[in-house]
Structure 1
């Protein structure tokens, strides 16, 4: 649904250049299944602005984007989340199984070469946020970004790693994700585990926001008068602004996810932070305002082709 000219976009927030890399943007899962607590009337009542970027009414499908964000900040290049990767065994995971995309070419189009990346941020360790951490080199998975420090939430690394038997034996695919996209980063000595707060530079700070996964995190940007918060999977659809009590079906600790969502969105509203979720189509990011029982949407991000 995103045309070629919209797959690499950028904007300036203070002194930080923000580059958006869109691998794909399309109907993903039935809305009623992905957001079981959001009633049909919420989608219908907001159809005028949910269509076409966030909802396809004909199939009642939630429309999502698979995308990454590149931040050029304080003289360094920071990559936030790395998509699903190519050629991965992901049984039962639909479009992520044996996926193929042109993500490396999109990075090149944005002027980003693998050796240029100084920091990789994995907001959490789900399949669609760690895939391009690594690439296949003669049958071995190795870091795609050979000079980068990979910032990985310690709680997720424990939960999905061998010490907790790969997600407490939740799904076989959790072990596969860890083995091909996270373990090679450890072997290369490029993994940095963190918890609570982690300052990247004078503009960027990571903060734990658990619930979607044990280690889910957000990345705050403050530069000049501009503020933004990259919220990962805190939200998957704009309907969650209207009803922040409603989780996606992939939130592991529902009550904790709701608490994190309300806290982060409340601060974003109070501090006029631009909210940048991992999977929003359209402009990809939006300001938020407090509303009755939840939040309302303000202006969308001023992002355009790079």
Structure 2
């Protein structure tokens, strides 16, 4: 797992980009996730399952037929509005997962090189309030955690906030809220959005869609411009193997039955369309179109452009 930061963002490779009409989407990498993540997160995706789906290799599964996963954000330019979808794991934070503990990545340099210096970000969308989606909400300032994006509004679904506000959380999750969620609330930067079944518009061409199951208030992010469409998954789909097996769930789904139902309904709505699916944990090539295959689906990959 990478542990080295870079002082000069120009040393880093350019972020892959996709265009959706007049909208530009950048993938901003944080870290590839270690090999043991796949068997832990999606225990039903056994090597035997992977072996029956040759198109998963080599991009989405390794030579041992173990799933590849990654942590990244999507940075979006919508007519000059700078939007960041999810903020990864974060640096220097105490985490129970050893792969996430005290991380030291060059994420902020990558974000800046993509044209999204922290002070220029206007809106941060949090698809849900899990540790690996909120970490860069804040950065260390001495002994305190302060908002990384001081001029942005941070948006999440009201249902998501209310669920966790009433949940009996273990200490690692309470720690995550203390260092990565409460500081943005205390700074007055957190906006709670009601997301009805038809979705909620938060900016021109940007809509939150309810995708409950993994968490009660999780959302996907739909982008629309000039007749083109894309959808950022959040964790309603962790990995392309779930296109083949939509009922294959994550070990951390709060409501597995609802998660499977959400995933199947979403894939049915995308299948055979030109909507670009952007996976929040899909390793490169990260994106593609959903097409029918038998009674399920497959991903036709569409790598981003590196300029």
TM-score (norm 2): 0.90
Asked whether 1:131 is paired with 2:135, we answer: yes
Residue 253 of structure 2 corresponds to 251
Q: CA RMSD in A?
A: 2.0
Runs of 4+ in structure 1 deviating by more than 6 angstroms, as ranges, are none
- The within-5 A match list for 1:84-95 is 84-91=89-96, 93-95=97-99
Q: Which runs of 5+ in 1 are unaligned?
A: none
Residue 168 of structure 2 corresponds to 168
Q: Secondary structure at the match of 1:259?
A: helix
Q: Residue 160 of structure 1 contacts residue 175 of structure 1 at CA under 8 Å; is this kept in 2?
A: no
Q: How many angstroms does 1:31 deviate by?
A: 4.2
Q: Secondary structure at the match of 2:156?
A: strand
Aligned mate of 1:52, from 55, 58, 75: 58
Q: Residue 229 of structure 1 contacts residue 276 of structure 1 at CA under 8 Å; is this kept in 2?
A: yes
Residue 64 of structure 1 corresponds to 69
Asked whether 1:274 is paired with 2:268, we answer: no
C-alpha offsets along residues 95-129 of structure 1, whole Å, 9 cap, x if unaligned?
A: 11111111111111112111110000010111110
Q: Residue 69 of structure 1 contacts residue 79 of structure 1 at CA under 8 Å; is this kept in 2?
A: yes
Q: Secondary structure at the match of 1:247?
A: coil
Q: Distance in 1 between matches of 2:94 and 2:251?
A: 22
Q: Residue 195 of structure 1 contacts residue 208 of structure 1 at CA under 8 Å; is this kept in 2?
A: no
Aligned mate of 1:114, from 118, 137, 141: 118
Q: 1:131 to 1:26 in 2, by over 3 A?
A: closer
Q: 1:114 to 1:223 in 2, by over 3 A?
A: same
Q: Secondary structure at the match of 1:61?
A: coil
Q: Distance in 2 between matches of 1:61 and 1:135?
A: 33
Q: Secondary structure at the match of 1:256?
A: helix
Q: How many angstroms does 1:302 deviate by?
A: 4.2
Aligned mate of 1:36, from 38, 43, 64: 43
Asked whether 1:10 is paired with 2:30, we answer: no
Q: Distance in 2 between matches of 1:293 and 1:39?
A: 20
Q: 1:168 to 1:26 in 2, by over 3 A?
A: closer
Question: How many positions carry a matched residue from both structures?
Answer: 296
Q: Distance in 1 between matches of 2:302 and 2:227?
A: 15
Q: Secondary structure at the match of 2:36?
A: strand
Residue 8 of structure 2 corresponds to none
Q: Secondary structure at the match of 1:260?
A: helix
Q: Residue 33 of structure 2 contacts residue 99 of structure 2 at CA under 8 Å; is this kept in 1?
A: no
Q: How many angstroms does 1:150 deviate by?
A: 0.4
Q: How many angstroms does 1:145 deviate by?
A: 0.6
Q: Distance in 2 between matches of 1:30 and 1:204?
A: 31
Aligned mate of 1:150, from 131, 154, 174: 154
TM-score (norm 1): 0.90
Q: Distance in 2 between matches of 1:25 and 1:181?
A: 21
Q: 1:35 to 1:305 in 2, by over 3 A?
A: same
Q: Residue 82 of structure 2 contacts residue 123 of structure 2 at CA under 8 Å; is this kept in 1?
A: yes
Residue 302 of structure 2 corresponds to 301
Q: Distance in 1 between matches of 2:66 and 2:13?
A: 22
